[in-house]
Amino acid sequence: MPFIPKSASDILRQLRGAVLGRSKLNDITPSSALNIMLAAFSEELASSERRLLSIRESFFLNGAQGSDLDRRVAELPPIGIQRIGRTNASGAVMRFERSVEDAAAALSIPAGTVVKAQGGQRYSTTAEVIMAAGDTDVDNVHVICQSAGESGNQVIGAIDFIENGPDQLISCSNTQPLTNGQDRESDTALRERAYSYLRSLSRCQKNAIEFMAISYIGANGDRFPYARVYEDPEQLGFCELVVDDGSGLNVEAMSRAGNTISTTIAAGGSRAVYHEAPATAPIPPESIIVWKNGDPNTQIRVTPINYTSLHERGVIYFAAGVLEPNDRVFVQNYRVFTGLIAELQREIEGNPDSPDRLTGFRAAGTRMVVNVVTPQFIKLDMALSPESSVNYRVVEANATATITGYVGTLSPGETLIISRLVDLVMEISGVRDVKFFERDSAVRAENIDTIDSRHALRVNADSIKVTTSNQE
């Protein structure tokens, strides 16, 4: 419930009403002593209301400033964050040169060599650098500004004076800009970083992603009650979030044909081509056609070693040299997920342009692909022994329905415990005994595991065969 501080006039009006309603005093004209006292009280109370609002707001990031904000962010779980102080500009940006006459032997540029910018800022090399014999220059030497703050940031070429270094060096220059020098972090920057910190908590962990998936409500009000993250041991950094509604989803039912995409490679060249996303599977070679220089008579097809399909993001990344300027690339004959699966994929990928709504759950350098679960249908024989006084067909139907309902609640990767099935069936009215066997066998059934967490145990019409004997 929001806290709205009362104004002095509101408080004065309430005080007047209380005095008139609870006492015999009635002289509340503007010039009366009573009204003056009540007005003074109301001003003081209004001031307290404003102070209470300020205290309340200081406990939220939006309302906290200065030291209050520092205290709030320090309390964030699990260990809090601290305001960043002034930082020194640094980077591997320097180029040193020497004359050809001095290039016969190797030259050591020691750590601590000082160079200076046109504005007077000094920078020191952080490690020894060797200029090899025969070389007249060395690039990408790392330097750090001796003074902290944004004043250490420089444009290309601004650092051009050698103040203290080997005599053989004749010139220096920063070939790239320095931009990472920072003054003390502002309240706005700290607040934004605190929000980013909160958004990052556990978001890339399995439990966090699975919780997000089963809690996510789609645009149509639907959701998946079962989800499991599968970490592929053969593809490091690759995971699948498999989801299900308990029935064993079908890819065809959850997807549609993707639009044919045509891309002409720009004059500057490109290694990436984009298509509709999320695709249901990696784009196969036969779905990618390249017209060299845009000429359909020079049509070629690519091979798997020439590209990588990031199908969940709608990106095909080609190897260097495969595509040239003016080539025309077609992507066709693929399918894309729709509905809730597509929404979940967008939630995982995030959107930097809309961080308040799509914050993202995928860790940098990894892939998280939303996919439908692969159903793994069980096959069991159920030896059902009903009470003699009951209708066997009714008991059989109830037992089958109970098993079907229970198996449908198993999450991807979850084991089917046979003893749990026995307990559920035994709770049905009219059941005297029940045993489960392997299909068409006298071997007692054991717990059933899934192949991996991309699979979920499910039942179909042939999963449960009911018998009246105990098969013993």
Partners of 115 in beta bridges? 123, 162
Decide: 338 and 254 in contact? Cβ < 8 Å.
yes
Dist CA 466 CA 386 (whole Å): 12
Q: Work out the burial of residue 306: count CB atoms within 10 Å of its CB; fewer than 13 is exposed, 13-18 middle, 19 or more buried.
A: middle
The DSSP H or E segment spanning 240 is: strand 238-244
Decide: 86 and 184 in contact? Cβ < 8 Å.
yes
- Output the pLDDT for position 212: 80
Decide: 227 and 256 in contact? Cβ < 8 Å.
no
Q: What would the DSSP string read from start to end of 342-378?
A: HHHHHHHH--TT-TTT----PPTT-EEEEEE-EEEE-
Most confident listed range (73-82, 247-256, 433-442): 433-442
Predicted TM-score (pTM) above 0.85: no
Tokens read off for 398: 């109830």
Q: How far is CA 219 from CA 38, 223, 339, 368, in A?
A: 55, 9, 8, 21
- Phi/psi-derived region of residue 430, left when phi > 0, alpha when psi is between -120 and 50, beta in every other case: left
Average pLDDT over residues 352-380: 82
Decide: 158 and 167 in contact? Cβ < 8 Å.
no
Decide: 225 and 213 in contact? Cβ < 8 Å.
no
- Output the pLDDT for position 375: 86
Q: What would the DSSP string read from start to end of 296-318?
A: GGGEEE--GGGEEEETTTTEEEE
248: confidence class by pLDDT, cuts 50, 70, 90? low
Q: Is the pLDDT of residue 472 over 70?
A: no
**How long a stretch of residues is the chain?**
472
CB count in 10 Å sphere of residue 48: 12
Most confident listed range (50-59, 60-69, 286-295, 386-395): 286-295
Q: Which residue has the higher pLDDT, 200 or 304?
A: 304
**Sequence-ordered alpha helix ranges (H) in 164-270:** 187-200, 206-215
Per residue in 403-418, pLDDT (tens digit) is 887 887 888 889 999 9
Per residue in 60-100, pLDDT (tens digit) is 677 678 888 888 888 776 667 888 888 888 877 899 999 99
- Output the pLDDT for position 397: 87
328: confidence class by pLDDT, cuts 50, 70, 90? very high
With b for 16 or more beta-carbon neighbours within 10 A and e for fewer, the 169-180 pattern comes to beebbbebebee
Average pLDDT over residues 214-219: 77
Average pLDDT over residues 364-386: 90
Q: Is the pLDDT of residue 51 over 80?
A: no
- Output the pLDDT for position 471: 47
400: confidence class by pLDDT, cuts 50, 70, 90? confident
- Output the pLDDT for position 352: 67
Dist CA 274 CA 259 (whole Å): 11
CB count in 10 Å sphere of residue 427: 9
Tokens read off for 262: 């045509």
Residues 6+ apart with CB under 8 A from 297: none
Among 212, 216, 93, 209, smallest CA distance to 155 is for 93
Averaged pLDDT score across all residues of the chain: 85
With b for 16 or more beta-carbon neighbours within 10 A and e for fewer, the 434-472 pattern comes to bbbbeeeeeeebeebebebbbbbbbbeeebbebeeeeee
CB count in 10 Å sphere of residue 153: 17
- Output the pLDDT for position 75: 77
Per residue in 114-157, pLDDT (tens digit) is 999 999 999 999 888 889 999 999 988 888 899 888 888 888 88
% of the chain surpassing 90 pLDDT: 35
Dist CA 171 CA 162 (whole Å): 7
Partners of 241 in beta bridges? 229, 370
Among 306, 270, 269, smallest CA distance to 288 is for 306
Dist CA 25 CA 17 (whole Å): 11
Domain extent listing, the chain = 8-58, 64-84+185-199, 90-174, 255-337, 374-467
Q: Is the pLDDT of residue 252 over 70?
A: yes
% of the chain surpassing 70 pLDDT: 92
356: confidence class by pLDDT, cuts 50, 70, 90? low
Dist CA 35 CA 8 (whole Å): 13
Tokens read off for 304: 């798997």
Give Dmax over CA atoms of the chain in angstroms.
Answer: 111
